[in-house]
Amino acid sequence: MVGRYDGGVITEAELIAESSRLPSPLREQFERPAGQREFVRSMIDKRLLAQEARTRGLHLEQDIQKQVRELEERLIIQALLAAEEKAAGRPGEEQLRAYYTQHRDEFAQPERLRLGRVLVAFPAEATAAQRAQAKQKAERFAQRLKAGEALAKVAAEGDGTEKTQGGELGWVARADLPDRQLEDAAFGLKTVGQVSGVVAEGRGYSVVQLLERREARVPPFEEVKAEVEGRALPQFKKKAFEALIARLRSAGAVEVDIPARP
């Protein structure tokens, strides 16, 4: 027992349970003895207020009774649904495979490229001469890459953020790249190591190099089993709910008397 009042006590278990619901910063405040004493007083104050309200009969007011019934209804429905979901369990292997077969196209993986890039940027107000100079620099970078010079070395002299990552943009699919011309140039590369021509972007010129390619594919069930279960589970729960509702409606002789509008 950590507190008492005329009408009851506050136990240590109640204190722990109540304080555990506090946000983390407040919980730390009440971990100290002074904070705990203050928290126990606040718990007692709340009990005293509720006690006084009952003494005055406020708990019998119709509006409060209605809210209590509505809250109870929500809580017991939640408990019922949780019990039904637990009883239904999780979808088994056969059910997951059936879901995978029905939604196979949703698991398709598009063609993806691992790209390297060297960017030569120019300012927004660049003159024609500055743009021409940037393009020439990008063309020299392209020639060096085509000659076999290491991407990381060439990219280190460029302007893109990828210069700090050895020139790598990482894996991209169509629509991942910000510029359509850059996308067309990248996906036009056919062999690993191939280098594109110079591509005009919004504020610069780029050269891209194909480092690796993954063809479009539909992964087998075993590879995406966890993802299949994550997608199938809500549908599985929905079916359990619908079965429960159908069973209750049938047993409850449900009738709806509102006529259809003409």
Cβ(138)–Cβ(205) under 8 Å?
A: yes
Domain that holds residue 168: 112-214
Residue 251 located in a structural domain: no
How high is the pLDDT of residue 254? 85
Q: What are phi and psi of 112, to 5 degrees?
A: -130, 145
Question: For all residues of the chain together, what is the average pLDDT?
Answer: 92
Average pLDDT over residues 23-45: 83
* Alpha-helical regions (H) of the chain: 12-19, 24-29, 33-55, 62-88, 93-102, 128-146, 151-155, 180-187, 225-251
Residue 14 located in a structural domain: yes
> Both 207 and 130 in a single domain?
yes
Beta strands (DSSP E) in the chain are: 3-5, 8-10, 112-121, 168-172, 199-201, 204-214
* Percent of the chain at pLDDT exceeding 90: 71
Residue 205 located in a structural domain: yes
> Both 204 and 119 in a single domain?
yes
The answer, yes or no, to whether residue 255 has pLDDT greater than 90, is no
Query: What's 187-220 look like in SS3?
Result: HCCCCCCCECCCEEECCEEEEEEEEEEECCECCC
With H, G, I as helix, E, B as strand and everything else as coil, classify residue 13.
Answer: helix
What is the residue whose two structure tokens read 């939604």? 103
The answer, yes or no, to whether residue 262 has pLDDT greater than 80, is no
> Both 118 and 35 in a single domain?
no
The answer, yes or no, to whether residue 46 has pLDDT greater than 80, is yes
Q: Whole-angstrom Cα distance, residue 153 to residue 163?
A: 9
Q: Count structural domains, the chain.
A: 4
Average pLDDT over residues 197-204: 90
Residue 243 located in a structural domain: no
Amino acid residing at 163: K
